[in-house]
Amino acid sequence: MIKVMLVDDHDIVRIGIRLVIEKMSGIQIVGECNDGYQALEMVEKEKPDVVLMDVNMPRMSGLEATKKITDIDPYVRIIILTIHAENPYPKQLLDAGASGYLTKGCAAQELEESIKKVYAGQRYVGADIAQQMALSMLPGGHKDSPFDGLTSREMEVMMLLVRGKKAKEIGHILGLNDKTVATYKYRILEKLEIKNDVKLTHMAIRHGILDPKEIGSVS
């Protein structure tokens, strides 16, 4: 029996996924939580084989949670579930230790196949996402997003910045001092060729990295 854990900050999404998985043979849900912090605790307690992980969550993003979970237990397989096929996350998250990457619009059969394949030690990337990754790597191909140029750590800092976190908060979450956070922020703005946090937030929304509902109205 493959033990699966769900991590998503939307109750309705977790309910839907749970109902789908309950119909699958040889797979069972052993836990659910709504952010990365809870995921870290639950992984140690429930010892799941596979974690289905959302990307955009409060307090701790799927990117950071993926890296921390694979540090805690490198045998846990993580499948990322996202609403966007076209964003900078696939490569970042696969590099961080994820074994699979799917959009939330995937068919139940594909979800089941991905769980069983990553459990067996393989990688699984949804066809729509694989196509975008392949196109971006072709000679003359366009980048999916200006965020492609950021490192994994810069992506983590950026995700916290666009959620309104201050340097001290970001440092506490990521284990960095204020000066290091400031350096990362400078590099992010320089790479993206923008001047301030407001423009960064607008860019994150425009490229599907940040849901406006998470921050309310942006001036």
**Is residue 115 a part of any domain in this protein?**
yes
Show which of 108, 136, 164 is a domain's final residue.
136
Q: Identify the pLDDT of residue 208.
A: 64
Q: Identify the pLDDT of residue 117.
A: 93
Do 163 and 117 sit in the same domain of this protein?
Answer: no
Q: Residue 28's domain spans which residues?
A: 2-136
C-alpha R_g of the chain: 17
Show which of 88, 113, 136 is a domain's final residue.
136
Pairwise CA distance, residues 214 & 10, whole Å? 12
Q: Identify the pLDDT of residue 128.
A: 66
Do 94 and 23 sit in the same domain of this protein?
Answer: yes
Residue 13 CA, chain-centre distance (Å), reads 15
Do 105 and 206 sit in the same domain of this protein?
Answer: no
Do 113 and 150 sit in the same domain of this protein?
Answer: no
Do 22 and 120 sit in the same domain of this protein?
Answer: yes
Do 116 and 43 sit in the same domain of this protein?
Answer: yes
Its sign, for the CA torsion 85, 158, 63, 136, is positive
**Is residue 219 a part of any domain in this protein?**
no
CB neighbourhood size of 116 (10 A):
17
pTM for the model: 0.69
Do 150 and 131 sit in the same domain of this protein?
Answer: no
Show which of 111, 136, 161 is a domain's final residue.
136
pLDDT per residue, tens digit, the chain (219 aa), is: 999 999 998 899 999 999 999 999 999 999 999 988 899 999 999 999 999 999 877 778 788 889 889 988 999 999 998 876 555 566 777 777 889 988 888 889 999 999 999 999 998 888 766 656 654 544 444 455 688 788 878 887 888 888 788 899 888 877 889 999 999 999 999 999 998 988 998 888 777 666 666 554 444
